[in-house]
C-alpha cells in the first residue's frame, strides 16, 4: 500500500486489534486479487535503522503467515508500537499472530472431543 487514502479507509472502516508491540488493522476487499500490506513505523518506534529492521520483520511475518489466512483478498496494516524495536523476532511474531487470530484471519481449529 502506498496511497494515504488506502491507509485512511482501513483505519476508518476496517477492524483493528492492539497488542503489546503491534496494532494490526484489516479490511476485506473482494476487488483485490491478493493481500495488500502496509507498515507504519513512526519515529516513536525507534531510530531509522530500528524502523527499517521492524519493516523487514513485519514483511517476513506477512510472507510466512499470510498463505494460511482464511481470505487473502484484504488490506492489512501493521503499526509498530513504542518498544517494538526492543522486542525479539519471536516476541513480535507471537504478538502479531495473536492479533491476527483475534481478527479472525486464520481458520478456526476444529474442536476434537
Is residue 108 included in any domain, yes or no?
no
Assess if residue 81 is contained within a domain.
yes
For CA atoms 18, 11, 106, 108, the dihedral sign is positive
Q: CA 89 to CA 97: how far, in whole Å?
A: 12
Q: Report pLDDT digits (tens) over 3-46.
A: 999 999 999 999 999 999 999 999 999 999 999 999 999 999 89
Query: Can you give the pTM of this predicted structure?
Result: 0.89
Residue 112: per-residue pLDDT = 59
38 falls within a domain:
yes
pLDDT (tens digit per residue) in 62-78: 999 999 999 899 999 99
Confidence of residue 108 (pLDDT cuts 50, 70, 90): confident
Q: Tell whether 109 is covered by a domain.
A: no
> Please, which residues bridge with residue 14 across strands?
none
Please state the domain count of the chain: 1
Residue 113 has a pLDDT of 55
Amino acid at each position: 500500500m502506498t496511497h494515504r487514502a488506502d491507509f485512511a479507509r482501513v483505519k476508518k472502516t476496517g477492524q483493528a486489534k492492539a497488542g503489546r508491540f503491534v496494532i494490526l488493522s484489516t479490511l476485506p476487499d473482494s476487488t483485490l486479487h491478493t493481500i495488500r500490506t502496509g507498515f507504519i513505523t513512526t519515529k516513536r518506534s525507534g531510530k531509522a535503522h530500528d524502523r527499517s529492521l521492524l519493516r523487514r520483520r513485519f514483511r517476513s511475518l506477512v510472507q510466512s503467515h499470510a498463505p494460511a489466512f482464511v481470505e487473502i483478498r484484504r488490506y492489512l496494516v501493521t503499526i509498530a508500537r513504542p518498544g517494538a524495536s526492543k522486542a525479539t523476532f519471536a516476541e513480535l511474531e507471537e504478538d502479531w499472530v495473536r492479533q491476527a487470530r483475534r481478527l479472525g484471519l486464520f481458520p478456526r481449529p476444529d474442536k476434537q472431543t
